[in-house]
Amino acid sequence: MEALKPAEMSPLEKLRWGSQNLPVRQKLVCDYLLKNFQQAVFMTVEEVSKQSGLSPSTVVRAVAGLGFESYHALQQALQSLLISSKASLWWQMEDSWSDAGEESSGREGEGSIPAGAHSFRAHMKEQWEEALTSDSEKVSHPLVQATRDNIEALTQSLTPLLFENFETAVGLLEKANRIFLFGMRSSQGITRYGFSLLHQFMSNIYMVDRAGSEEMFDDLIDLAEGDCLLALSYGGPHYASRTFDVLHIAKSMGIPIILMTTELSNPAAPLADAVLCVSPARNHYTMAPALTVLEALVIELGKRSRTQAMRKLRKLEKILGEKGVTL
């Protein structure tokens, strides 16, 4: 059996490793835990055994094979991951630590969120509840339902993990010689939108533009040292397999990868240098959280390259006016 990878692997990376390298029945345990890691935090060995159809002893052996001293140790690792990647869990924990339910102190640092994010979420919840009670007849209207779900998804996306990876992503994009954007199927539209926004004020933005055909590999050979790949793999649990092919090629070439997705369990996540994980809506498919993070990247990159950005925007504005494209 292949030697276990370094201890600094995340619990999900260990589970992925186990699903490839442990004995057959232990692989099945890892597969089950990987697909249900959010529930596994609250499940006993016996419950995992019952739900997965495998014996308790197999579950215990699989956990040991992953390098954990006990199943409880695995649960603690998964719990830490969930606290950092799920806004509701994080804020519930902070509330439990504060006196009489007072707001958190706005501490910043590793595993935390910028001051104000907690109060923003509380304010949005208060405003939304007030809007619903003021006009209860409209609660079931599809406009209200979609808006409600989008607001919840947006605020749930504001996690310590997202803030941390956002800073990493901005740093990679800022220093990149060229930035390549890639997305397939449902992610392709938002990828083109991101390209359109960034290309308005940056001159080093490209797309792996023929996504969906074998010719997309022709675009990848242009990747070179100093470039960066921003990939969207949205809408799991069924992700486009070609996305993994593209990321594997970029990884083999030493190209930094930024991945935007809705699940840390996305198989492409271990290939990325920064994972921008946003929350899906509860009752409908939406790109609102991904669009918001993408627009936040645009805002921050625009700030950091303000002089160059303004120069290109003014030049573009002049040309569009002269050619009669705009009034």
- So where are the chain's domains? 11-85, 160-315
pLDDT mean over 179-204: 82
Residue 214 has pLDDT above 80, yes or no: no
Pairing, β 228-232 against β 205-207: unpaired
Which is more confidently placed, 231 or 213?
Answer: 231
Percent of the chain residues topping a pLDDT of 90: 10
Residue 122 has pLDDT above 90, yes or no: no
Closest CA to 205 of 195, 218, 193: 195
Give the residue-averaged pLDDT of 307-318: 72
18 pLDDT exceeds 90?
no
Q: Give pLDDT, residue 25.
A: 92
Write down the pLDDT at residue 224. 81
CATH number at 11-85: 1.10.10.10
Cα angle vertex 258, ends 287, 109, to 5°? 95
Angle among Cα 289, 37, 18 to the nearest 5 degrees reads: 120
Q: 224: which DSSP letter?
A: -
User: What pLDDT digit, counting tens, does each position of 288-308 carry?
Assistant: 888 888 888 888 888 877 777
- Give mean pLDDT, residues 191-218: 75
Residue from 209, 196, 199 nearest 178 by CA: 199
Mean pLDDT of the chain: 76
How confident is residue 238, by pLDDT bands cut at 50, 70 and 90?
low
* Average pLDDT of the segment spanning 22-48: 85
Would you say residue 128 has pLDDT above 50? yes
For tokens 């392709």, the residue is: 188
**Closest alpha carbon to 148 in 161, 131, 123, 134:** 131
What is the structure's pLDDT at 106? 44
Output the pLDDT for position 138.
Answer: 61
pLDDT-derived band at 124 (thresholds 50, 70, 90) equals low
- The predicted structure's pLDDT at residue 252: 87
In whole angstroms, give the CA distance from residue 32 to residue 38: 11
Assess contact for 14 and 271: CB atoms under 8 A. Answer: no
> What is the rounded distance in angstroms from the CA atom of residue 318 to the CA atom of residue 108?
43
User: The CATH number of 160-315 is which of 3.30.420.40, 3.40.640.10, 3.40.50.150, 3.40.50.10490?
Assistant: 3.40.50.10490
Tell me, what's the pLDDT at 258?
A: 92
Contact 52, 62 (CB under 8 A): no
